[in-house]
Structure 1
Amino acid sequence: MNKLYVLPQLLLACTLITLPGCLTDGSGTESGSTVVTAPTTTPTSPTADPTRTICDPFKTNSPQARDRGLVGNLFYLTDDQPRYSNITDYLNNAKVIDANIYLDRLFIPTRPFDRGFYMQSGDLVTNINGTTLYEYFGLRMTGQLQLAANEEPGYYQLATLADDGALLKIPDGLGGQKIIVNNDGTHSTKFKCATEPVYMDRSTHLPISMEYYQGPRFHISLVAMWRPWPDGVTNTNPVNDPLCGQQGNSLFFDSTKDPVASNAAFYQLLERKWKVLENENYVFPEQSNNPCAPPEETLAISNYSLSGIARDRVTLTWSTNVESNSQGESNLTSTGVKTLSQVDATNTLSHTLTITGLIPNTLYAIRALSTSPGGQNAISDERVFRTPR
């Protein structure tokens, strides 16, 4: 879909570029090749010790990006320990596995779990007695929340679905953490909601930790959700969904289906604007690479062209070999000043973007820019044209 952008007032200075060719009003020519490959970064395969790396053991089927997701630790109770019924006792007493676990997102609908955990090397994780871990284990995952491209800045209400206990924590403003959603305890799949909002804008990276334990076999569930704060204001009046506090292994999901199917209660949450936090909502803390995500092929721009040249606008079209976002750069050749359009954050292979706010009877050099989810940047060559009088 074509996106229309007015050039912002912020200008980036650069040196004057000598441009070839003699142009007529509204005409254009290209500078350079017709197929452009100009990534400013080259992807590399993230490396990690395969004997200490656990990749997405719950198979959340979410698109992977090397800079997004959650990372954490796996721990378990030994056979001689009490069967605790809260996450704090698990964290204080459980044995920690010497490995890092990576998740693309927190979306584990209610289902049986007897697969256990496998290292990237293929080795099965077991306890000290050689038993597969499918009960009395826990996770502590960390990451940072951000808005997805289609979400608006504002106040949001967080919630979790969990079987068994889960605590979602955020910074308390004093250097520590506070519980924003308390879904602790041994229980069937329960929906719990935050009673205070979090504010999110385009620059917000909200640190979170999700602490979770699975008690007795076999069902597990862990889903992180949010919705725009219902009253749209900043007060901390409790705002409850009718399903907050409700629980049941078959209330939200049908685990007898393969794959697991959503039930009416889960669809009701979606109707009330609850949304599962996707891979796009999670940014890794203090690291840029997910060793479980396959490396992208080198990002390249091709088939770049201009059309619809008018007194105050021009339309750019181009293709990329990796799904990526879209942005335009306008160079006012008489001054050497460049202006960037807003970024269209939709990741696509076919790009169309219209820049407005151009000056009539003026020579411009225009470039297309794309950035992939893995952080690669590609820049086209220039197309030079003069706007009509």
Structure 2
Amino acid sequence: MQNDDPIKGRGAQIHIANKFEQYRNVTDSDFLNHTLLEDGKLTNTKTRLIDTYPKTIVNRVDSPDVGMNYSLNPYQGCEHGCVYCYARNSHEYWGYDAGLDFESTILVKRNAPDLLEKKLQSKRWIAQPIVLSGNTDCYQPIEKDLGLTRKLLSLFLKYKHPVGIITKNALIQRDLDILSDLAKDNLIRVIISITSLSEETRRLLEPRTASVQKKLQTIEVLTAYQIPVSIMMAPIIPSLNSHEILALAKETSIRGAHSIGYTMVRLNGAIGTIFTDWLQRTMPDKKERILNQIKQCHGGQLNNSNYGQRMKGSGELADQIAQLFGVARKKYFSKNKTTQLNCELHKFHKDNQYKLF
């Protein structure tokens, strides 16, 4: 059965075969996480949470072009539903699909705080910034009820350990008390991800993230609390949000952001199929132009996985976008400087703790 009407509150509109599964069980409708209404339309059910208990929680990041060495993800899968999200493919390793499963079946790492505390107590651990989250958003909607991220931040504060946060959600304001205490010792950096200043574009691309106005207001609030904020305009999608670069840089700078970065959209793995289907459903008149321009930035393909090129793209169009960001930084962020997070306090704190024994 084909679902022609958009599924409200979801980015991906389809389930897609998991590349690791040789066989696939399907229901009659082939929409496993949805309820069929009397009029024949499909509606999304409540998000399903699955408790997991990993053995480790701090991940070494070996990729040389992502700007972090360690990450921590309390959740796998993300309710935000960003249709372009590179993390979708990782859901396949858990036996779920990168489409609707990714945003409706969320794995909750219940023991994340215990694992982090064990890590921070280890004599062998040498403090380096740990980023929440390198894969899925640590402030996605279920965090409001579960509070895993708040527990993790409390531990970073307790052990005087540097931490970074990347989020699209204004829920981060809930934790201003902890964040402001971390900021006093230069132990926190926040990156707010803003893809567009257009609320209509935001709703289509990332349906369950905070509104544009809430994101901009979050920058102002964090800045007022002396919590350093940077902006990530990610991803840049040609002919969809690429024209907003200077306007977005100006608006976020006014609100107090220290710097701005970006990535080019890359449709690796199953995301190419998901994004193409989404374009056909939401803006069919722009579909071919957008896809063709994405290919122009990746050597004729929807994705280029080569380090150094996959995040920024290559070719004339990618160069033009890079030049625009150069202008944006020079015009709106030239006076702002980002200092390294404090990695010394943790060692001092840990040594003092051991002396008590």
Q: Same fold (TM over 0.5)?
A: no
TM range (shorter): under 0.3
Instruction: Give the helix-richer structure, 1 or 2.
Output: 2
Query: TM-score of the superposition, structure 2-length normalised?
Result: 0.27
Rg bigger for which structure? 1
Between structures 1 and 2, the one with greater strand share: 1
